[in-house]
Amino acid sequence: MHLSEGCIHQFLQDHKTRFAKRTMEGYETTIKQLLTFYEKPFNEISSVEIRHWLIYLGENGLKVGTIINKVKGLRLFYYYCVEEGFIKDNPIEGVPYPKEERKLPYYLTSEQLLRLRDLCKGNLKQRAVVEVLYSTGVRVSELTSMKLKDINWPERKIRIPMGKGEKERLVFFTKECAEHLKVYLGSRNDDLPFVFLNRNGTEPFSRYSIVHWFRTFRENLDFYLTAHTLRHTFAANLAMKGMSLSCIQVLLGHTDFQTTQIYARLHQKAQKEMYDQWM
């Protein structure tokens, strides 16, 4: 058996229990593509040649995410070859991952949001949950632990006592949200402190139940949707209406401003649209 074939076979055998079958098939394809491209064994391929091959893939339309996966496979393979003593110097060590362009956050259009609301008609709790997630931008974990005592109805704001990062903050909600939330709460006859309860009305609503809801929503709609999509939609709408990123950061409860930067391009888009309206 040829050296390259033997090493690849041994590599695949030693890693088949650590990774999914599809992942390993992808790594095998990557290694063989590289060897075929240069028509030489793996131990004769240099770092420069690997870089050039990756550039070639990008110039021929391969997506950055796919190229990153190929680099991961090559890294794993070459590190294995060094550990097993097949090669002394690792050619992939100095090859960086290509930078993946940060995409705009996925959010719902106004039409999609309307369709989601229509889908929840008749279910008081679902309608209230959707409205709270959308109008406040809270995380699912914050929604499931939300308590009645933390709602300030006159000022339409909710205290989030200990969100992610152990940082308290205030979020606000719309008049429409207030209406649906009051209707849902008015349908209950318990004295439990939580805003949303489980099906039996005995415990706080669970994260699993929300995940299940949104999986069902996706099956009835023709667009992708999770509970977190509503958090993105909340932030995206504020950004496109011109709210400063620092304010959005506070409302979302981001401790790191860099996390909020994903909405910067939406903010710039909104500024351009406002400029075009005035000029």
Please identify which of the residues 164, 188, 215, 241 carries the catalytic annotation.
Answer: 164
Examine the domain organization and report whether 78 and 128 are in the same domain.
no
Residue 101 pLDDT:
63
Examine the domain organization and report whether 266 and 149 are in the same domain.
yes
| Residue 45 within any structural domain of the chain | yes
Range of the domain at 66: 3-83
139 is catalytic: yes
Global pTM exceeds 0.75: no
121 is catalytic: no
Please identify which of the residues 125, 169, 254, 267 carries the catalytic annotation.
Answer: 254
Examine the domain organization and report whether 76 and 125 are in the same domain.
no
Residue 9 pLDDT:
87
Please identify which of the residues 156, 228, 265, 269 carries the catalytic annotation.
Answer: 228
What is the DSSP code string of 178-247? HHHHHHHHHT-----SBSSB-TTSSSBPPHHHHHHHHHHHHHHSSS---HHHHHHHHHHHHHHTT--HHH
Residue 1 pLDDT:
40
2 is catalytic: no
Please identify which of the residues 139, 180, 232, 267 carries the catalytic annotation.
Answer: 139
Residue 234 pLDDT:
93
Of the three residues 83, 101, 127, the one that is the final residue of a domain is: 83
78 is catalytic: no
Please identify which of the residues 125, 169, 180, 231 carries the catalytic annotation.
Answer: 231
157 is catalytic: no
Of the three residues 66, 83, 100, the one that is the final residue of a domain is: 83
| Residue 101 within any structural domain of the chain | no
Within 10 angstroms of residue 137's Cβ, the number of other Cβ atoms is: 23
Examine the domain organization and report whether 202 and 249 are in the same domain.
yes
Examine the domain organization and report whether 23 and 128 are in the same domain.
no
Residue 103 pLDDT:
67
Examine the domain organization and report whether 117 and 252 are in the same domain.
yes
| Residue 90 within any structural domain of the chain | no
Is residue 174 classed as helix, strand or coil in its secondary structure? coil
263 is catalytic: yes
Number of domains in the chain: 2
Residue 124 pLDDT:
97
Of the three residues 65, 83, 101, the one that is the final residue of a domain is: 83
Residue 36, domain CATH? 1.10.150.130
Examine the domain organization and report whether 9 and 137 are in the same domain.
no
* Tens-binned pLDDT, residue by residue, of the chain (279 aa): 456 777 888 888 888 888 888 888 999 999 999 999 999 888 899 999 999 999 889 888 888 889 999 999 999 999 999 998 888 889 998 888 887 666 667 889 899 999 999 999 999 999 999 999 999 999 999 999 999 999 999 999 999 986 555 578 999 999 999 999 999 999 999 999 999 999 998 999 999 999 999 999 999 998 999 999 999 999 988 888 888 888 888 899 887 776 677 777 766 766 666 667 665
Examine the domain organization and report whether 116 and 165 are in the same domain.
yes
Residue 272, domain CATH? 1.10.443.10
